[in-house]
Amino acid sequence: QKEVEQNSGPLSVPEGAIASLNCTYSDRGSQSFFWYRQYSGKSPELIMFIYSNGDKEDGRFTAQLNKASQYVSLLIRDSQPSDSATYLCAAHNAGNMLTFGGGTRLMVKP
């Protein structure tokens, strides 16, 4: 079992809809969590991080963390075709390395 799990998708949503991306983790020692967006062949691009229980909003993006359930999510409001990419959830635990989930491929259809 991977330490960080994501549904590989693809997750298909129509333009303008809310995309909901989910991630679970197994290490209760994980302190903070990151969402990266990665276009094919490109580098991971930071969207946002979260380390406290609850919601954190940044523009069209909202990250949610529930440490009791070991669950992290990312909501993308008003999805655009340009949001089509692979979204990587990563946990920051003991040491400074990031442990990534397998990524969820999001497709936003015009």
Partner 1 sequence: AAGVIQSPRHLIKEKRETATLKCYPIPRHDTVYWYQQGPGQDPQFLISFYEKMQSDKGSIPDRFSAQQFSDYHSELNMSSLELGDSALYFCASSSLTSGGSTDTQYFGPGTRLTVL
**Smallest distance, partner 1 to C-beta of residue 71, A:** 18
**What residue ranges bind partner 1 (CB under 8 A)?**
31-32, 34, 36, 41-46, 49, 51, 88, 92, 95-103
Which sign does the torsion angle of CA 40, 44, 45, 50 carry? positive
User: Toward partner 1, which CB reaches closer, 43 or 110?
Assistant: 43
CB count within 10 Å of CB 27 equals 13
User: Toward partner 1, which CB reaches closer, 29 or 95?
Assistant: 95
Please tell me whether residue 29 adopts helix, strand or coil conformation. Answer: coil
**Smallest distance, partner 1 to C-beta of residue 17, A:** 26
Question: Using omega within 30 degrees of 0 as the cis cutoff, is the peptide bond preceding 110 cis?
Answer: no
**Smallest distance, partner 1 to C-beta of residue 110, A:** 26
23 neighbors 9 (Cβ within 8 angstroms): no
